[in-house]
A and B are shown apart, each in its own frame.
Chain A
Amino acid sequence: MLDISAWFNDLLADNLIFTPTTLGYYWEGLVTTTQLVFLSLVAGLILAVPLAIMRSSKHKWISLPVYFYTYVFRGTPLLIQLYIIYYGVVFIDGIQETFLWPVLREAFYPALIAFTLNTAAYTTEIFRGAIKATSKGEIEAARAYGMSQSLMMRRIILPSAFRRALPAYGNEVIFMLHASAIASVVTLMDLTGAARFVYARFYAPFDAFLFVAAIYLCLTFAILYFFRFLEKKLLAHLRPQNS
């Protein structure tokens, strides 16, 4: 253990930019980015399941409002959504007196809300596509067994739809990781924020941004392989035999 830290100190000794202090900033940035992306993905996923079911409803007055929501959030830049929530939240009447204010005042939570609403919109459409692609035979079989609409949704449609949605959802997770870089615009010290800080401090754009690009690349590959692993596990029954 001592060896490693001595080696590490030697490595950093000649380096003016990547000192333990700046690496600390990058580490904090990594923690913020991970929290932001993970929390917004989980919240977005929880929102997206009921929304996707509503979106695939036969009744126009249920599906249309959800379509409007996904259309607006998928058709406008995330940066605009972030600005609207970040600058706009102050102007909700009386919000400064409520218990929510201390939470919403920090940049983290407006960013989290914007990211959640954005990813929920994309995920809703992914799930809707997967629900729509459920084969007619499965639904007929479930009906023949006398399943109610909700039981059929829970036992037949959703489990297979989730599996079908997996590859597209993996892309969405990577997209979200990359989109989270704009959190640095509203003063959050995420990975990109840390890189901007180091750049401004040392005026060394190549060192600061290439390093952070390498971190993002590693994270992207980690997500990619995780989803490949999941697909292998969960979609095993769809693979051709002897492959």
Chain B
Amino acid sequence: MLDLQGYGPRLIEGAGVTVQLAVLSLILAIILGLLTASAKMSRNWFLRRTATVYTTVIRGVPDLVLMMLLFFGGQIGVNAISDMLYYNYEIDIYINFNAFAAGVLTIGFIFGAYMGETFRGAFMAVDNGQIEAGKAYGMSDALVFRRIRFPQMMRHALPGLSNNWMVLLKTTALVSVIGLTDMVRVAAEASRATHEPFVFLIPVAVAYLLIASVSEWIFARLQKRYDIGFGGQ
């Protein structure tokens, strides 16, 4: 049987960190992605430009570099702001730049750019007549978004969303490099300490495959739900 030499509980804790990190970043990424997609489709020149720069820059730089920039630079940046507030306005606050929050922020920020592209394509695939019909019924813009555009957009966005999620899940492994104790970090530490890398790293690899398989199943169910009314195309 697999002998984890007492590292078992820590590995499970690490797996918890991985899943929490991935789910929270996914939520942030979806929010940012929706905002980016709306900005890209807006009539405002400035918003469109900003969104384009955001998606281009983020997709052109490695995740790890962005993560290190935010993680190592984040505390300095936060300190600079609180110093500024103290000297100029005598507001005394201290913000501790937490590693987990930095991880969620960076991954969410990176995948917001990818989600933005996915959502933009999906929004454009929604028939304009549907939106006009909603307006003709006297629906407000917000109501049109909630009842008509969003549900129909999701049908087109889900395949891309599921793809992004799979990449995001694997990206969470990088937080182990900047000091968060996720399951990859526990496994790497354990294999260095015990000189038995396969015992710890292979179960972690299998855990990633398991999470991926479970989420694939969830996405298939969601797709079925959003496909209702389209004759199973």
Which A residues have a C-beta under 8 Å from some C-beta of B?
71-72, 75-81, 83-84, 87-88, 91, 177-182, 184-185, 192, 195-196, 199, 205-206, 209-210, 212-213, 216-217, 220-221
Q: B71-91: which have CB < 8 Å to A?
A: 72-73, 76
Question: Please, which residues of chain B bring their CB within 8 A of the CB of A196?
Answer: 68
Contact check, A209 vs B174: say whether CB atoms are below 8 A apart. Answer: no
Question: Please, which residues of chain A bring their CB within 8 A of the CB of B188?
Answer: 83, 87
Contact check, B205 vs A185: say whether CB atoms are below 8 A apart. Answer: no
Interface of B is mostly: helix
Contact check, B197 vs A84: say whether CB atoms are below 8 A apart. Answer: yes
Contact check, B205 vs A221: say whether CB atoms are below 8 A apart. Answer: no
Known A-B contacts A209-B65, A212-B65, A216-B60; A84 and B205 likewise in contact (beta carbons under 8 Å): yes
Contact check, B57 vs A87: say whether CB atoms are below 8 A apart. Answer: no
Question: Please, which residues of chain B bring their CB within 8 A of the CB of A185?
Answer: 177
Question: Please, which residues of chain A bring their CB within 8 A of the CB of B195?
Answer: 91
Contact check, A209 vs B209: say whether CB atoms are below 8 A apart. Answer: no
Contact check, B201 vs A88: say whether CB atoms are below 8 A apart. Answer: yes
**B212 within 8 A of partner (CB):** yes
Question: Please, which residues of chain A bring their CB within 8 A of the CB of B208?
Answer: 75-77, 80
Chain B: how many interface residues by the 8 Å CB criterion?
A: 38
Among B65, B76, B166, B170, point to the contact of A192 (Cβ < 8 A): B65
In Å, the complex CA distance between A173 and B7 comes to 37
In Å, the complex CA distance between A241 and B110 comes to 38
Question: Please, which residues of chain B bring their CB within 8 A of the CB of A178?
Answer: 61-63
Question: Please, which residues of chain B bring their CB within 8 A of the CB of A71?
Answer: 209
Contact check, A76 vs B65: say whether CB atoms are below 8 A apart. Answer: no
Contact check, B205 vs A205: say whether CB atoms are below 8 A apart. Answer: no
Contact check, B170 vs A77: say whether CB atoms are below 8 A apart. Answer: yes
Contact with A along B207-227 (1 / 0, CB 8 A): 011001000000000000000
In Å, the complex CA distance between A217 and B195 comes to 38
**B143 within 8 A of partner (CB):** no
**What are 17 residue pairs bridging A and B, where the CB atoms are less than 8 Å apart in the complex?**
A71-B209, A72-B205, A77-B171, A77-B174, A79-B177, A79-B184, A83-B187, A84-B197, A87-B191, A177-B62, A182-B64, A184-B64, A206-B73, A210-B69, A213-B61, A216-B62, A220-B61
In Å, the complex CA distance between A206 and B71 comes to 11
In Å, the complex CA distance between A126 and B170 comes to 19
Since A72-B209, A87-B191, A87-B201 are in contact, a sample of 13 more A-B pairs with Cβ atoms closer than 8 Å, ordered by chain A residue number, is A75-B166, A77-B173, A79-B184, A80-B205, A83-B191, A178-B61, A182-B64, A192-B62, A199-B72, A209-B73, A213-B66, A220-B59, A220-B61
